[in-house]
């Protein structure tokens, strides 16, 4: 079932690039990121409230909050740089570079989370890196 969510994530990420490139014309990229964040905030809280997820708020630990907060900071910075790159670059070049995050996530998962690096995973990461290089040069 996870792969269905992952495919939907990929689909919406692709649409994000297209919609952002069209919408960012003549708009400061930081302002565009802030506006996008407000929309995401409303949608995410709406879903959490609708699904009853907010009932688990009191159970969150400082550890949960710290790392969810750090994730939010990383996401925000990613979006700021992504929108700036989209503003001045082509989607067909920006998107492959942005997706190097997949290979970086694999490396970081081995270094910081202790996940094992299999030959298949290493090969997949290398193919992502090589594919990105082919697409941008």
What is the span of the domain harbouring residue 114? Answer: 99-137
User: Domain check: are 51 and 105 in the same one?
Assistant: no
User: Domain check: are 31 and 59 in the same one?
Assistant: yes
The answer to whether residue 94 is domain-embedded is: no
> 2: pLDDT confidence band, cut at 50, 70 and 90?
confident
What mean pLDDT do residues 42-60 have? 97
Which bin fits 49, alpha (ψ -120 to 50), beta or left (φ > 0)? alpha
Q: Quote the pLDDT of residue 36.
A: 95
User: Domain check: are 27 and 48 in the same one?
Assistant: yes
What mean pLDDT do residues 45-59 have? 97
Q: Quote the pLDDT of residue 34.
A: 96
Domain count, the chain: 2
**Which of 39, 5, 2 has its CA nearest to residue 19?**
39
To 10 degrees, the CA torsion angle through 112, 17, 92, 88?
A: -100
Q: Quote the pLDDT of residue 47.
A: 97
Q: Does pLDDT of 1 surpass 90? A: no
Q: Does pLDDT of 28 surpass 90? A: yes
Q: Quote the pLDDT of residue 65.
A: 97
User: Domain check: are 78 and 31 in the same one?
Assistant: yes
Number of residues in the chain: 137
User: Domain check: are 74 and 47 in the same one?
Assistant: yes
The answer to whether residue 22 is domain-embedded is: yes
The answer to whether residue 56 is domain-embedded is: yes
Query: Alpha-carbon distance 137 to 125, whole Å?
Result: 19
User: Domain check: are 28 and 6 in the same one?
Assistant: yes
The answer to whether residue 57 is domain-embedded is: yes
Query: Interior CA angle at 74 toward 72 and 76, to 5°?
Result: 65
Side-chain-side CA neighbours of residue 137 (13 Å): 6
User: Domain check: are 68 and 132 in the same one?
Assistant: no
Query: Alpha-carbon distance 41 to 95, whole Å?
Result: 23
- What angle separates helix 2-23 from helix 29-50, to the nearest 10 degrees? 150
> 84: pLDDT confidence band, cut at 50, 70 and 90?
very high
- Its pTM stands at 0.84
Query: Alpha-carbon distance 98 to 92, whole Å?
Result: 11
User: Domain check: are 48 and 29 in the same one?
Assistant: yes
The answer to whether residue 43 is domain-embedded is: yes
Phi and psi at 64, nearest 5°, equal -55, -50
User: Domain check: are 14 and 32 in the same one?
Assistant: yes
User: Domain check: are 15 and 80 in the same one?
Assistant: yes
pLDDT tens by residue, 87-117:
999 999 999 999 999 999 999 999 999 999 9
User: Domain check: are 78 and 137 in the same one?
Assistant: no
């Amino acid at each position: 079932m996870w792969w269905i969510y992952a495919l939907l994530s990929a689909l919406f990420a692709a649409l994000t690039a297209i919609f952002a490139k069209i919408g960012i014309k003549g708009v400061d990229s930081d302002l565009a990121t802030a506006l996008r964040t407000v929309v995401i905030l409303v949608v995410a809280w709406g879903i959490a409230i609708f699904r009853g997820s907010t009932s688990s708020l009191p159970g969150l630990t400082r550890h949960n909050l710290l790392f969810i907060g750090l994730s939010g900071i990383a996401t925000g910075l990613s979006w700021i740089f992504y929108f700036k790159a989209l503003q001045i670059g082509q989607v067909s070049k920006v998107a492959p570079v942005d997706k190097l995050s997949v290979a970086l996530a694999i490396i970081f998962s081995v270094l910081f989370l202790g996940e094992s690096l299999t030959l298949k995973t290493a090969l997949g990461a290398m193919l992502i890196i090589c594919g990105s290089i082919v697409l941008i040069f």
